[in-house]
């Protein structure tokens, strides 16, 4: 058997613990190489225990991870005795069944968090059992944090517990420092405001010591009061200026943050959306960005102001009396220790709050979009109950967080009051011994409350800050997600595609280790019309999604005009592909805008010609506003046939080189279908076309028909050739004819 070469960064080659590594070294032959080595977390269906599955180029081994185990506890199966492998879902976990040619099936159990990994292991084992060199994955969906091993909120998501809050703060500040002169002005204003806040207690000290106690120097009193008045005016000016400049910078920073988030939404691959709920993503743009907006505009300047105040106050108090300053700071260590202890708990609460809010938003989005189905099945009460349950979960986590914080805030305020008692007692002694003046003691007392005020503010706003940081992290998770390679520098530009398409041993699966398309081989000439048929789930839609490069093949090749599709500029590729789907999506704009969507600079004459070609002009001119009619959200003001004809007009105006028709005439009445068929006949001329049709008889005009079964291409030929062959296509046609005949007979039965 040929030794397989494994790339060093293969995710299925995990680092073994020392004890397991020693046991494996004792078991393997010197020339034997590991192909797969992965950890599992269950010994059987009911017991959590660590174990290791190791696959070499000769055998399959299962090793316990306990330090006391010896080589006798290692289960070994010759790779030549492996028939196949299958990853099966179970309740709360899964099982990798390794079937032998002779002997009982070897079972490896795992929890649900490891299911993606063992799905890949299963596929690699199948390839090895078939004598193939395994196509190992370059990455696997992460369900646990690689650092702390906590379960991630979303697959391949960010672990909130391991994110550094200072990094998040730094990124937010970078958005604000995109306007450096305004930010420098804001910092200068904050510095002046802090200094203006500190001056009144010092002036009060001089009034007491130099005017009131000696009961003299009336002119000095007048000057000091004037200074107080001037400082008060300065404080008002700085406050207004801070709000003005801070709002200007904050709104522009959050505008840029929202723009980056929206651009990320546009350029993220479909795999990203497959793993996430739409409501949860919308909540990042609405709820999370609102939290960050309030923090940037109102709270961040206040944080900076209070930080500067603490620094200046501690410096001045130390100058007056370092002994009293130590008494002032005595309650601070327990407060800081308590803050550190409660930080993680509050962080967990607000992460849960974000997750609950995301679930609530997702449910709201889903129930409103599906309101017709809800009403059709009279499920209003059920949906209300589901919403109430999720709303109660959000309330409970909010109450728990607030209750925890209120207790901490009350204890904090109680501890802070001791500092004042200490200063009055020990400061009073210093006044009596004439080591401190009464004015300085009063300044001390005033500054103590000013010093403790940021801590009180921190208590009041800490919860909101945590939610804002959690929201920022969720936004940055989307912004940092891997985007589609639109800017790939080495990509090949193709300004005009001829339309040749070639699948060469192509494999693809939406879930790791579960291929939907298997070993597809197909060569399509430019201008050829290909019909795609097969049972539901056979892989028809998958094939066309690969042509659009919504996904990339996992194995094999897909070429356009002889060039690997992954090496073609993505913008050039998609700008020359037209798609007419079964459920055509229209934007909430005018009819003319929807037709011209794929060609924004098109003239109205171009729109008219496309509408005529799509047999859409006749119904458009009957509308009250004609081409200016607003079609409504998702085109809900139009019928299904009208939406389809607009989608065809949009494709005609787009003038694609490769056209994809995904059941474009299904579920339509006969007159409407005839008009759409006429429009499609005009549209396909001179273009490479892939058509999925619900009615197999509509594919008679196709140059070739490709039949798929369980992800494999099983037949290719013309309609006549496939009917004469009496294979899969013949059976599909006969089944559909029998079904149509039964339906017709049932529909015309008297008394039915």
Instruction: State residue 335's pLDDT score.
Output: 72
H helices of 90-217, in order, are 115-129, 165-176, 180-207
* pLDDT tens digits for range 540-552: 888 999 999 988 8
Q: Where are the domains of the chain?
A: 18-129, 168-480, 501-576+692-744
Gap between the Cα atoms of 681 and 658, Å rounded:
14
For 583-630, the DSSP string reads S----SSBHHHHHTTT-TT--HHHHHHHHHHTT-HHHHTTSTTGGG-B
DSSP of 228-295, one letter per residue? HHHHHHHHHHHHHHHHHHHHHHHHHHHHHHHHHHHHHHHHS-HHHHHTS-HHHHHHIIIIIHHHHHHI
Topology of domain 501-576+692-744, CATH: Rossmann fold (3.40.50)
Please name which of 704, 703, 701, 699 lies closest in space to residue 732, comparing C-alpha atoms.
Answer: 699
Instruction: Report d(CA 653, CA 656) in Å as an integer.
Output: 8
Strand-strand pairing, 658-662 and 577-580: parallel
Residue 751 has pLDDT above 70, yes or no: no
Read off the pLDDT of residues 1-17 as tens digits, 9 standing for 90 and up. 333 433 434 677 888 88
Mean pLDDT, the chain, as a whole number?
81
- pLDDT tens per residue across span 140-152: 666 677 677 666 7
pLDDT of residue 141: 66
Question: What average pLDDT does the segment 27-37 reach?
Answer: 83
Candidates 327, 168, 309; CA nearest to 235 is 309
Q: Which residues pair with 558 in a beta bridge?
A: 503
Is residue 676 a contact partner of residue 648, using CB atoms and an 8 Å limit?
yes
For 288, the token pair is: 């999370």
Displacement of CA 731 from its chain's centroid (Å): 43
Question: What pLDDT does residue 237 have?
Answer: 92
Fold of the 168-480 domain: ABC transporter transmembrane region fold (1.20.1560)
Q: Do domains 168-480 and 501-576+692-744 have the same CATH topology?
A: no
Q: How far apart are CA 115 and CA 121, in angstroms?
A: 10
Of 137-141, 298-302, 449-453, 506-510, where does the model show the most confidence?
506-510
Q: State percent of the chain over pLDDT 70.
A: 88
pLDDT tens-digit series, residues 666-723: 555 666 667 767 777 777 788 898 988 777 766 777 889 999 988 899 999 888 888 8
Confirm if 153 and 473 have CB atoms less than 8 A apart.
no
* H helix intervals, 522-561: 540-547
Residues in contact with 431: Cβ distance below 8 Å, sequence separation at least 6, in sequence order: 437, 438, 441
3-class secondary-structure state, position 704: strand
3-state secondary structure of 130: coil
Please state whether 217 falls in left (phi above 0), alpha (psi between -120 and 50) or beta.
Answer: left
More confident residue, 709 or 221: 709
- pLDDT tens digits for range 443-464: 888 887 777 776 656 555 666 7
CATH of domain 18-129: 2.30.29.30
Tell me, what's the pLDDT at 670?
63
């Amino acid at each position: 058997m040929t030794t397989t070469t494994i790339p060093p960064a293969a995710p299925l080659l995990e680092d073994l613990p020392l004890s397991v590594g020693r046991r494996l070294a004792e078991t393997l032959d010197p020339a034997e190489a590991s192909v797969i080595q992965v950890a599992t977390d269950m010994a059987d269906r009911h017991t959590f225990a660590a174990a290791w599955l190791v696959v070499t180029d000769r055998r399959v081994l299962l090793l316990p991870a306990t330090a006391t185990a010896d080589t006798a506890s290692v289960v070994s199966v010759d790779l030549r005795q492996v028939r196949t492998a299958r990853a099966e879902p179970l309740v709360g976990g899964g099982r990798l069944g390794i079937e032998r040619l002779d002997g009982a099936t070897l079972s490896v159990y795992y929890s649900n968090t490891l299911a993606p990994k063992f799905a890949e292991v299963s596929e690699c084992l199948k390839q090895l059992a078939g004598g193939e060199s395994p196509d190992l994955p370059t990455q696997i969906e992460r369900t646990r944090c690689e650092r702390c091993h906590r379960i991630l909120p979303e697959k391949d998501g960010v672990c909130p517990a391991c994110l550094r809050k200072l990094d998040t703060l730094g990124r937010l500040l970078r958005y604000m420092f995109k306007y450096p002169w305004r930010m420098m002005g804001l910092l200068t204003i904050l510095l002046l405001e802090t200094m203006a806040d500190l001056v009144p207690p010092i002036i009060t000290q001089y009034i007491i010591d130099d005017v009131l106690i000696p009961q003299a120097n009336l002119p000095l009193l007048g000057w000091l009061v004037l200074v107080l008045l001037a400082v008060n005016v300065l404080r008002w000016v700085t406050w207004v200026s801070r709000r003005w400049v801070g709002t200007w910078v904050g709104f522009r920073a959050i505008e840029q943050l929202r723009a980056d988030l929206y651009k990320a939404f546009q350029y993220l691959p479909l795999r990203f959306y497959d793993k996430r709920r739409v409501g949860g993503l919308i909540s990042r743009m609405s709820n999370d960005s609102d939290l960050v907006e309030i923090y940037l505009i109102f709270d961040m300047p206040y944080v900076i102001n209070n930080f500067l105040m603490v620094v200046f106050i501690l410096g001045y108090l130390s100058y007056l009396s370092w002994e009293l300053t130590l008494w002032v700071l005595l309650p601070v260590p327990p407060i800081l220790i308590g803050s550190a202890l409660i930080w993680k708990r509050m962080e967990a609460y607000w992460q849960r709050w974000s997750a609950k809010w995301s679930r609530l938003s997702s449910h709201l989005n889903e129930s409103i979009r599906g309101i017709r189905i809800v009403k059709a099945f009279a499920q209003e009460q059920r949906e209300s109950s589901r919403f109430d349950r999720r709303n109660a979960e959000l309330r409970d986590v909010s109450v728990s967080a607030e209750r925890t914080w209120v207790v901490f805030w009350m204890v904090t305020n109680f501890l802070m009051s001791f500092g004042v008692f200490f200063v009055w007692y020990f400061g009073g002694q210093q006044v009596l011994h004439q080591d401190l003046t009464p004015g300085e003691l009063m300044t001390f007392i005033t500054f103590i409350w000013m010093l403790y005020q940021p801590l009180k503010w921190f208590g009041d706003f800490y919860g909101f800050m945590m939610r804002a940081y959690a929201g920022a992290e969720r936004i940055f998770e989307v912004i940092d997600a891997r985007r589609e390679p639109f800017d790939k520098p080495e990509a090949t530009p193709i300004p005009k595609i001829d339309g040749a398409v070639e699948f060469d041993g192509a494999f693809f699966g939406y879930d790791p280790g579960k291929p939907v398309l298997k070993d597809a081989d197909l060569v399509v000439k430019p201008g050829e019309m290909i019909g795609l048929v097969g049972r539901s789930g056979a892989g028809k839609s998958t094939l066309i999604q690969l042509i659009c490069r919504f996904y990339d093949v996992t194995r094999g090749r897909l070429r356009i005009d002889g060039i690997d599709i992954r090496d073609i500029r993505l913008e050039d590729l998609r700008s020359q592909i037209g798609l007419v789907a079964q459920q055509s999506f229209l934007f909430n704009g005018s009819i003319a805008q929807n037709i011209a969507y794929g060609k924004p600079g098109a003239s109205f004459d171009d729109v008219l010609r496309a509408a005529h070609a799509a047999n859409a002009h006749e119904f458009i001119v009957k509308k009250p506003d004609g081409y200016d009619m607003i079609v409504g959200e998702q085109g809900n003001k139009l019928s299904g046939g009208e939406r389809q004809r607009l989608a065809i007009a949009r494709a005609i105006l787009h003038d694609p080189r490769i056209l994809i028709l995904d059941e474009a005439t299904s579920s339509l009445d006969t007159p409407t279908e005839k008009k759409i068929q006429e429009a499609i006949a005009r549209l396909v001329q001179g273009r490479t076309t892939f058509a999925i049709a619900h009615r197999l008889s509509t594919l008679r005009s196709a140059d070739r028909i490709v039949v798929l079964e369980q992800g494999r291409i099983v037949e290719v030929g013309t309609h006549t050739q496939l009917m004469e062959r009496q294979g899969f296509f013949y059976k599909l046609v006969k089944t559909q004819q029998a079904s149509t005949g039964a339906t017709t007979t049932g529909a015309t039965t008297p008394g039915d």
